[in-house]
Structure 1
Amino acid sequence: MSSQTSQPPYRCFIETEKQAYLPGDRVNCNAELTFDRKFTCDEIVAMFTGEARVYWMDKQVSAKALCRHQPYYQKRTLFEQKKTIWRAEFIDIRKKTESTMTDIVRFSSPHSIRPGNLLSGEKKPEWCGFEEGKYVLPMDFSLPEDGIYSSVEVDDELVSVRYQIELHCLANGRIMKKFRQLLHVFAPRDLSGEMDKLATPKSSETTHQSKIGKLSAILSLPKTGYIPGEPLNAKVVVHNMTSNSVKFASVCIVKKIVAIADTPTYEFKDRDDETAGSILPFHKIERAERKEWIAQIYVPALTPNLCIEDFIHINYEAKLSVGFDRAKKKNSVIQIKLPITIGTVAIDSTLPDALPSKVASEKFDLIIVHRMAMLNLSTGSQLPSAPPSYEDVLNNSQGFSSFDDAPLLYSAHEK
């Protein structure tokens, strides 16, 4: 006999018009309630909130105890809106006959029960709530224009900026049931007005090892401002003057996170998350060889740079790692980093023809690409497929699935 997964008797799904919102947008949605049996409730309150939060646990060792876990956190409410979207209608049931003086004396004795109700009559509501079935309750909110940041989620703990709609089902002022649904918000950052992002950074590093010789590498970028879906177009030069062959050279994007807590004490925690990187286009770089190439990597679906003073800092950098051990990044002998900025509007509308953007490329199946990325397979093209652009997400309500909400594949390194 096959066992079926049971579902809760009271369910709610909040359907929104769009998958993502911008500051100042009107959020129109419907709360679809499903009750498999009677549900007692006299009021439903909807709350639309924006909240930024940092939280982590540190393991501390003391002389009195082997170890203990100390939480550090800080929370800020960006905004909060509340409205009643449903309220039960009460029916007044009063005594049909007025109380006489004899009744007043008799029911005022210590043995009487609730004499006040008998004297003046009481508003007694009949049973109120929802019968078994499905119900749709419309609601709308206004997203503030100022003080809004892009939705961020890092490990569901360390750093988060969340926007959510929460329903409270009340009975006599007591919360009987809660329903919650997250919304995605993009805070636009137009890089076209930041001309300093057109700078072409370049950095080099040389390592000398007495036994094997000298190895040098150069990393340069055509600009420092990017949006998701753009090719990085990082130029790499490796000059191998050692007795060994270079078998590893990869360019990736590093997400640098700094979280600051104020409770119980002022503390901060930083960490680096690395996205999947490019591959060495050659089998190896032999000794006395000099190779030059363009690292083929798209900027993944990363949130824009974020800075909330004394709270959350998220920045990015392009990183080149070069080593002698194939597929062993931790054994790299050279690491070059260049800071970059992630925005939502590109600096220029024209991109090099050699590495076309996702908009100019052919349509591809998002689900297949995501599954192949999870399995670390190749899609058949030399350049990996780009993620959806902001225009696709904001203007398209079709063609997306639950795979779009899956987290990025990160390799976390805590400091």
Structure 2
Amino acid sequence: MTKSAATGQGLTRDPAKLRAFAETAARQAGFDAFGVASPAKLPDISAKLAAFLEHGRHGTMGWMEETAERRAHPQALWPEVRSVILLGMNYGPETDPLATLAQKDRATISVYARNRDYHDVIKGRLKEIAGRFAARSGADVKVFVDTAPVMEKPLAAAAGLGWQGKHTNLVSRDFGSWLFLGAIFTTAELETDMPEADSCGSCRACLDICPTDAFPAPYQLDARRCISYLTIEHKGPIPHEFRQAMGNRIYGCDDCLAVCPWNKFAQTASEAKLKAREELNAPALDDLLKLDDAGFRSLFSGSPVKRIGRDRFVRNALIAAGNSGHDTLVPHCEALIADPEPVVRGAAIWALAQLQPEAAEGLARKAAARESDPDVKTEWMRAMGAAS
């Protein structure tokens, strides 16, 4: 979104006054963290980004490669930008987000996705702040919330909101790993902040807890191994090597965030819009496995979960069912073996083979020959050997 330079009374171009005005507007809009970075003084991240893409660690997220040039630096995205305002909104959970991992008949949804889509919450407020700022400064502005080729985390680090931890996410002294980020680009010159120093020290908690070893080295992420990527971005069958490690995580993964020692200073989210809906804290797997498209859309209306669609979501829930050890979920898995979508059928076969291998083998001998999808056929072939 771009707002053109405004004209009128009350204009100021003083960098200190403009910064103070922007920060006041941000606090009034409900943001918890504020900082400003100068594009001219930002470290060049193009080499790191190029290495990430060269190693294929972005997986099927082709848009990252397509936008790499613009993503590497704010001025490549918008040459006129002179200051970048970074804003953070606390979404710290009220309870331990890892506690539900032990409830095998229930699902674990990432904290950020348990309520309204944060993109909607933050973007509306950014537009409000940007509009007020444009009217006061006469400058042009653009707002971004994780939906454009903007590297919010390195920008936020440069603006002093925190530092990128070994898990590659932003860590704040005040809010731990629980900050939603948004950015306002402007042609105005503002007083800037000093970057925050890395304070991870020798801690490896976020690296060691990762269920799928998604960190090839500190400060490096291989998205192809990350449960957040696998459950959200990945469209096909979940690779077999990661299925058991997923446990009951059906949308995202909070392990590396939740274990960060800096969370001891974090506060819980202060606004109802960012607090979890009770029905999404630990939903029962048997309820989720019954969802048709209409039921899925209704349950996740306004939630970021909605964007992956019913089929991918039920695929994830079936992996959790297979890991649950609960025979009560067997009828739901059997019913989904006949689902119209191959990605659901394949996951249902795997889940059944984990819960009742003999039953899966018996069904496989009858159904494998009739299956036309190669991925699903492979699952049937695997099921035939599950009981041996």
Global fold match (TM > 0.5):
no
TM-score of the aligned structures, taking structure 1 as reference length: 0.21
User: Which structure dedicates a bigger proportion of its chain to strand?
Assistant: 1
TM-score of the aligned structures, taking structure 2 as reference length: 0.22
Greater Cα radius of gyration, structure 1 or 2: 1
User: Which structure dedicates a bigger proportion of its chain to helix?
Assistant: 2
- The higher-RCO structure (CA 8 Å, 6+ apart) is 2
